[in-house]
Amino acid sequence: MAWLTFDRKNFEVIRGTPHRFASSTGVVRTFCADCGTPLTYASDKTPSTIDITTISFDEASLFPPTQEEWVSHKLEWEAIDATRTQYPGDPPE
């Protein structure tokens, strides 16, 4: 799944109320309670940023991926795009 990372101070939900749940210690995820679309990921490890799923944008094609993270967890059949920077886990800060 593709994500975009933004400063939390520059992010606001302007319509609806996402359903929130703590998926693990220090992590809160949100999703649409009506359709189930994943929306955000916020971690205490990176308190100034929030990750937003690209599929939740009206114009997702405006945000093509530039890197691939967590490639160490990819499924066997997933192709890696060699033109993008790749990280086995989180990229360095």
Residue-range domain boundaries for the chain: 1-60, 63-93
Q: State the pLDDT confidence band at 90, using cuts at 50, 70 and 90.
A: confident
- For residue range 56-69, list pLDDT tens digits in order: 888 988 988 888 98
Bridge partners, 21 (sequence order):
29
CA pair distance 76, 78, nearest whole angstrom: 6
User: What number of other Cβ atoms are within 10 A of residue 43's Cβ?
Assistant: 17
- For residue range 27-44, list pLDDT tens digits in order: 999 999 999 999 999 999
Q: State the pLDDT confidence band at 22, using cuts at 50, 70 and 90.
A: very high
Q: In percent, how much of the chain has pLDDT > 90?
A: 54
